[in-house]
Amino acid sequence: MKKGLIIAVCLMLAVTVAGAQEKKEGQQEYKLSSQTLDQQGGALDKQIAAYSVRMAEIIKKYNLLKTTGIRIIPYQTTYVQGADFIEMEKYSFIKDDIYNRDVVGVQSRKIKLYTNGDTISKIDTEIYDHFYWAGTSNIVRITDPSPTTEGTDDIVFTHVVNGKMFLENKRLSDIKNTTAYPIRNELKREFLVPHLSYFMNSLLFIAEAYYKGMKDAEEGMTEYLKKAKKF
């Protein structure tokens, strides 16, 4: 009996030690996963800031804030200049699911770059869709008050569905980012990075197309005047 009691105590100790070890390993694994999330988030922050810096460089290099007469822009895109901003909007029409013929709504992505011509001080984004027949709409407004720095915690989101406020001024730093629900990193990776990348490329296209057009016009005039000496 004494021997049996000793064995039982040993088994209990073994289970306790094993449980403690599993708990310790689980905590270590969670810590490592959290560190990975933070590292991924930091890398995404750098990409987001890099796109903003690149857009500022394009504006400065091509003097876009003061450039007038821009006519060549990407398909279904609008381009607006103000005294201290450049705004671009990409829009498309939603067609019915059955015949793909009738326009039943519109969706758009808009970005507004606040700039002094050298740098970008703030970026406003608006994502919008509206279905005419159903009368439904979605608007998400995003403000980045420090776009050229590598921190994204101060980006705020406001979401309005059918005229009702769902989220108001929700900071990115307050959005869940756990190993089970890495929503914050998903927002950065699946929206912010490709969104900024798209409009950076659009801005570069607009700038290069304008200056190529100017160069072609100047070359055309020069060729004409070279021939004109024979008049």
- The pLDDT of residue 215 is 63
- The pLDDT of residue 33 is 73
Percentage, residues of the chain above pLDDT 90: 65
Contact of 44 with 185, CB cutoff 8 Å: yes
Express each pLDDT in 148-176 by its tens digit.
Answer: 998 899 999 999 999 999 999 999 999 99
Distance in angstroms (rounded) separating the CA atoms of residues 64 and 228: 34
Distance in angstroms (rounded) separating the CA atoms of residues 204 and 57: 10
Burial class (CB in 10 A: 0-12, 13-18, 19+), 176: exposed
Which is nearest to 200 in space by CA: 71, 45, 59?
A: 59
Which is nearest to 160 in space by CA: 132, 134, 131, 140?
A: 140
Question: Which of 96-110, 120-134, 199-213 has the highest mean predicted lDDT (pLDDT)?
Answer: 120-134
Distance in angstroms (rounded) separating the CA atoms of residues 220 and 193: 40
- The pLDDT of residue 130 is 95
Which residue type occupies 57?
E
- The pLDDT of residue 134 is 87
Express each pLDDT in 110-133 by its tens digit.
Answer: 999 999 999 999 999 999 999 998
Label residue 217 by pLDDT band (50, 70, 90): low
Whole-number average pLDDT of the chain: 84
Asked if residue 83 has pLDDT above 70, the reply is yes
Express each pLDDT in 11-51 by its tens digit.
Answer: 343 434 344 444 444 444 445 477 888 899 999 999 999 99
Contact of 144 with 122, CB cutoff 8 Å: yes
Burial class (CB in 10 A: 0-12, 13-18, 19+), 177: buried
Label residue 218 by pLDDT band (50, 70, 90): low
Q: Provide the residue ranges of all domains of the chain, joining segments of one domain with +.
A: 29-228
Contact of 120 with 147, CB cutoff 8 Å: yes
Distance in angstroms (rounded) separating the CA atoms of residues 79 and 90: 9
Contact of 124 with 111, CB cutoff 8 Å: yes
Asked if residue 109 has pLDDT above 70, the reply is yes
Distance in angstroms (rounded) separating the CA atoms of residues 143 and 155: 6
Long-range Cβ pairs for the range 172-178 (8 Å, 24+): 177/37, 177/41, 178/34, 178/37
Mean pLDDT of 76-87: 96
- The pLDDT of residue 29 is 44
- The pLDDT of residue 205 is 95
Strand pairing report for 77-81 and 85-95: antiparallel
